[in-house]
Chains A and B, each alone.
Chain A
Amino acid sequence: KAGVTQTPRYLIKTRGQQVTLSCSPISGHRSVSWYQQTPGQGLQFLFEYFSETQRNKGNFPGRFSGRQFSNSRSEMNVSTLELGDSALYLCASSLVGGAQETQYFGPGTRLLVL
């Protein structure tokens, strides 16, 4: 079974631009979560989607948004990019996002904002 895939793997943008990242979960997984990883803040939860609905959101500004499609694929968007948005963005999937359910991570998209 293929793992979680993320595209693109690397991205360079300038301040003020917007960016869209894509995530395809493991086949059969319907819950998709996004995390931001930086050296300073570590791994932080952004949001979680299930059945095309955002169920939970972390402590990030409204510039960070996402969506999920009927095939469970998910995208996240960051508008008006800031230098501090440079990070590794990780997507994780699980069956239904239930209690005590393991989340499996993709390789991440490394975003550099100049």
Chain B
Amino acid sequence: GESVGLHLPTLSVQEGDNSIINCAYSNSASDYFIWYKQESGKGPQFIIDIRSNMDKRQGQRVTVLLNKTVKHLSLQIAATQPGDSAVYFCADLDTGRRALTFGSGTRLQVQP
């Protein structure tokens, strides 16, 4: 089956630095992508999404970039804060099955 994967399992950054979390997807038919943040003991929390007809979308302190040529997705977090420490998942929505396919996740650790 198709899969969505992450390049790095753990990312450690200093407070105040910018963070970049990467994701590769394999389904060339994917047209909708979501980033979720999951803190310990909680369910995934929606951060930002992007549709395949866009290559960049910005939110509050977060930016998602989509490169369809190389099937790559990234999440940029500006001025990373301790509260950003969590596991981040990219997910691809299979609109036919209405099912999200998740990557394995990247743990972001913010050092004070």
As a 0/1 sequence over residues 22 to 44 of chain A, the CB contacts with chain B under 8 angstroms (1 = contact) are 00000000010101000000111
* Chain B contact surface mostly: strand
Q: In the complex, are the beta carbons of A43 and B42 less than 8 A apart?
A: no
Q: In the complex, are the beta carbons of B44 and A45 less than 8 A apart?
A: no
State how many residues of chain A have any CB contact under 8 Å with chain B: 26
Q: In the complex, are the beta carbons of A106 and B49 less than 8 A apart?
A: no
As a 0/1 sequence over residues 69 to 100 of chain B, the CB contacts with chain A under 8 angstroms (1 = contact) are 00000000000000000000101010101111
Give bound CA distance, A35 to B99, whole Å.
Answer: 9
- CB contact between A100 and one of B32, B101, B104 (< 8 Å): that residue: B32
Q: In the complex, are the beta carbons of B46 and A104 less than 8 A apart?
A: yes
Give bound CA distance, A98 to B97, whole Å.
Answer: 10
User: Within the complex, what minimum Cβ distance (angstroms) separates B87 from chain A?
Assistant: 10
B12 on the interface (CB 8 Å rule)? no
Q: Quick one: closest B residue to A108, CB to CB?
A: B43
Q: In the complex, are the beta carbons of A100 and B99 less than 8 A apart?
A: no
Q: Using A43-B89, A100-B51 as known contacts, say yes or no to A106 and B43 having CB atoms under 8 A apart.
A: yes
> What residues of A have a CB within 8 angstroms of the CB of B99 in the complex?
33, 45, 48, 56, 58
Could you list 5 further interchain pairs (A-B, Cβ under 8 angstroms) beyond the known A45-B99, A56-B98? A42-B104, A45-B100, A55-B98, A99-B93, A105-B45
* A interface with B by C-beta (< 8 Å): 4, 31, 33, 35, 42-45, 48, 55-56, 58, 90, 92, 97-108
A and B contact pairs by CB, cutoff 8 A, 27 listed: A4-B43, A33-B100, A35-B100, A42-B102, A43-B100, A44-B102, A45-B100, A45-B101, A48-B97, A55-B98, A56-B97, A56-B99, A58-B99, A90-B44, A92-B100, A97-B98, A99-B31, A99-B32, A100-B49, A100-B93, A102-B46, A105-B36, A105-B43, A106-B43, A107-B43, A108-B42, A108-B43
